[in-house]
Structure 1
Amino acid sequence: AVYNNQDGLGAIIVLFVLVVPFERFFPRHDHQHFRRPNLNLDLGYALASPFLQAIGLVAAVVVGVMSFTWIPGLILRPYVQSIPDPYLLLVGVAMFDVASYWTHRWYHEVPQLWKFHAIHHSPEHMDWASGFRAHPFDGTLIAPAFFFLIAAGFSPEFSGLVAVVQIVLGLFLHANVRIWLKPLSKIIMTPEFHHWHHANEPEAIWCNYSTFLPLWDLVFGTYYMPKDKRPTVYGVDEYVPMTMAQQLRYPLVGMGNPLRWFRHPFRSLKMMFKGIWQILRMMKRSALRPRGEEFERAVLRLNDPSALVDEPTSL
């Protein structure tokens, strides 16, 4: 997705001019051609981004209001406003960044949310255009963080600036660029860091969720930046269709006919709250899973914790 205040064609031109020269002279994957497979699909997402963003914005507002995160924001507002201006920006960025880490992590580790985020991870080639591919509902889970920040006293302009920087940086991190800042790899974001996040390799599954600072991956045990290896394989294991219309429909398959809300409103409301409760349970399991746990065991822990019976330690 791209910024709300810029049309898709303009975003393509700006990103093309700024990033493609770096991809040409400092490519991560020398063998990757400019016109790689499914490039037209990603450009289609870029062109359609104003329309898709409008849909996503409506969903984000609904999620933000229903999350009630604006209530603790209002409670903390006097304390936030007492923070000196020079530190207010740092506090706001840190609060957003840790919230972004966890929402991103839950989009991967909660199956109901992963169906939406899988669209963004479906490209098998990383470059300047692959970051455009995203479902309009992917990212709505971060809306509660924005509602909290605004209610706590951070200006809407601040939240808007954070959103724009997040999007621009995110698009650049997908680029096919060889930038290896080894001494700073644990301090600042690089394409190498995010490429490992997109890598479809067993040791790199569920890693590198941070948006601005790798600090959060270090703190929560999901940091992965091997010294002697580079990411080579991208994409997802499950089948994801390769047309925009099919991808927009893909996460919604199995949710039933939306007209049932008019025929059975109370039953539909009950099912909705049941689904939300299941998602919240999975989010809790994700947050409490052990650091550094093997991927297969972590999946089993999230989906069926009762199946994990640890052998007693021998004395």
Structure 2
Amino acid sequence: MLPEIVKGFVVLAGIFIPLERILFLHKQKIFRLGWATDATYFFTGHFIGRSGALVVTVILSLMTNLLNPELQSKVASQPVWLQFVEAIVISDMAYYIAHRLLHEVPWLWQFHAVHHSSEHMDWLAAVRVHPCEQIFTQICKIMPLYWLGFTKESLVVYALYSAAIAFLIHSNIKLKFGILKWFVATPQFHHWHHSKIPGINNKNFAVQLPLLDLLFGTIYMPAKKMPHKYGISDSIPAGYVGQIFYPFSRMIKNAR
């Protein structure tokens, strides 16, 4: 029997690789530069994600005095579909704030720069996330949902949706979503966040709900244009190990 993480990789590749060959936005190779590095992130990220969930559990266990059983009971009594909708709004609001901090706080940017270092966008680029950033954003997204008492069923549905959206918005797919583009994050929305054009990668901070960027004045989604170059000017190592140590080496260098 194959491990679940391997099955997940095979299923995602089986879905997105054909889509990216048929509906491609930019013509590029499947095994493009950095593919092996991102594949490494996929498998290591699975276990790091579990560590993040453990951290959330430990933090909540230390915050029992701040929990509100009555509020949790009311939240849990709602239909799963309503909890799911609420989870999207609450979690993405928390992520929006965390994401802006990753861009605006210099030492946090050193970790987030790793994610922006990819010069090719496709489904696998979604997982190029430094472990420290992964744990930080996971805590920010999940903590409010656990604290409010969302049920396990609603959290499972939300987790599946969240993962699907993450792969979709990074995918090399040219597809029009019509009015849905304001309610569901799309490649048209998120690719601009990875654009190499100065200033544009400080737009579109939401990861699921573009309306948040519209609300806070950080939206950038031209109707008939898409970026042609991705990445950043920072010199980031190409390999997995080098990228893991990159933020720390930069902080040491800046401290001298």
Which TM bucket (shorter chain)? 0.7 to 0.9
Aligned residue number for residue 18 of structure 2: 21
Percent sequence identity over matched residues? 32
- Alignment correspondent of 2:127: 132
The 3 A distance-change label for structure 1 pair 66 and 125 is farther
Aligned equivalents of 2:176, 2:122: Cα separation in 1: 16
- Is 1:150 paired with 2:146? yes
Give the distance between the partners of 2:101 and 2:247, measured in 1 at CA.
Answer: 16
CA distance in 2, matches of 1:52, 1:144: 15
Shift of 1:99: 1.0
Of 66, 82, 92, which aligns to 2:74? 82
Is 1:102 paired with 2:94? no
Task: Measure, in 2, the Cα distance between the counterparts of 1:153 and 1:60.
Answer: 13
1:65 offset after TM fit, Å?
Answer: 5.2
Matches within 5 A, 1:35-184: 35-54=31-50, 56-57=52-53, 64=59, 72=66, 74-75=67-68, 77-82=69-74, 85-86=78-79, 87-142=82-137, 143-184=139-180
AA of the residue aligned to 1:207: K
Aligned-pair distance for 1:195? 0.8
Which gives a bigger RCO, structure 1 or 2 (Cα 8 Å, sep 6+)? 2
Residue by residue, what CA displacement relative to the aligned partner does 1:209-260 show, whole Å, maximum 9, x if unpaired?
112211101111111101242111111111111111111111222667xxxx
Within 1, Cα distance between the matches of 2:86 and 2:126? 28
Distance 2:44 2:97 in 1: 28
Tell me, in whole angstroms, the C-alpha distance in 1 between the residues paired with 2:53 and 2:95.
17
Distance 2:104 2:189 in 1: 19
Equivalenced residues, count: 246
Q: What residue is the counterpart of 2:215 in the other structure?
A: 219
CA contact (8 A) 1:60 1:141 kept: no
- Secondary structure of the 2:100 match is helix
The answer to whether structure 1 residue 186 and structure 2 residue 179 are counterparts is no
Cα distance 1:144–1:199, how it changes in 2: closer, same or farther (>3 A)?
closer
Between the aligned partners of 1:201 and 1:146, the Cα distance in structure 2 is 32
The structure with the largest helix share of the pair is 2
Any unmatched runs of 5+ in structure 2? none
TM-score (norm 2): 0.83
**Residue 133 of structure 2: SS of its match in structure 1?**
coil
Structure 2: which amino acid aligns with 1:202?
P
Does the CA contact (< 8 Å) of 2:25 and 2:173 recur in 1? Answer: yes
What TM-score results when the alignment is normalised by the length of structure 1? 0.69
Cα 1:169–1:39 shift into 2, 3 Å: same
Q: Distance in 2 between matches of 1:175 and 1:165?
A: 15
Q: 2:87, 2:145 within 8 Å by CA — same for their partners in 1? A: yes
The code of the aligned residue for 1:216 comes to L
Amino acid at match of 1:92: A
Letter in 1 for 2:74: S
CA distance in 2, matches of 1:53, 1:153: 20
8 Å contact from structure 1 (residues 59, 137) kept in 2: no
Q: 1:118 to 1:6 in 2, by over 3 A?
A: farther
Name the CA shift for 1:106/1:190 in 2 (closer, same or farther; >3 Å).
same
Q: Secondary structure at the match of 1:92?
A: helix
Rounded Cα–Cα distance in structure 2 between residues aligned with 1:50 and 1:243 = 19
* Counterpart amino acid of residue 26 in structure 2: H
C-alpha RMSD of matched pairs (Å): 2.7
Unaligned ranges ≥5, structure 1: 257-315
Larger Rg: 1
